[in-house]
Amino acid sequence: QVQLQESGPGLVKPSETLSLTCIVSGGSIDNYYWSWIRQPAGKGLEWIGRIYINGNTDYNPSLKSRVTMSIDMSKNQFSLKLSSVTAADTAVYFCSRGWITWFDPWGQGTLVTVSS
């Protein structure tokens, strides 16, 4: 059974780059889309973007200029970088496996706070 676990700093300074990694266990990174989704406290889910095993990416248009995703099949993990962060980027960040219109499973989520 595939499991996902997010890792990375819980505190990032404004204007710096948020970097998270999602480690996939119980299976290999294979023919699915690997996505990042975030959720500000008390608010709904926001899709950040996805990466396929061939490295092709799709990003949320509202974040596209600041997002970079990568995938490392040798380490069974994929990553998110979000540059020039502000307080508005404070959220719980989830990684997930999925296909075009669904996401499963999800990581437990990691809280990232943007503050000086």
Q: Which stretch binds another protein (CB under 8 A): 10-18, 24-32, 47-55, 66-74?
A: 47-55
59 binds another protein (CB under 8 A): yes
Q: CB 47 → another protein: shortest distance, Å?
A: 3
C-alpha distances (whole Å) from 1 to each of 25, 26, 27 are 8, 5, 7
Q: CB 62 → another protein: shortest distance, Å?
A: 9
105 binds another protein (CB under 8 A): yes
| Given 50, 69, 85, 112, the residue binding another protein (CB under 8 A) | 50
35 binds another protein (CB under 8 A): yes
| Given 3, 8, 19, 58, the residue binding another protein (CB under 8 A) | 58
Three-class SS string for the chain?
CCEEEEECCCEECCCCCEEEEEEEECCCCCCCEEEEEEECCCCCCEEEEEECCCCCEEECCCCCCCEEEEEECCCCEEEEEECCCCHHHCEEEEEEEECCCCEEEECCCEEEEECC
Residues near another protein (CB under 8 A) are: 35, 37, 44-47, 49-50, 58-61, 94, 100-109
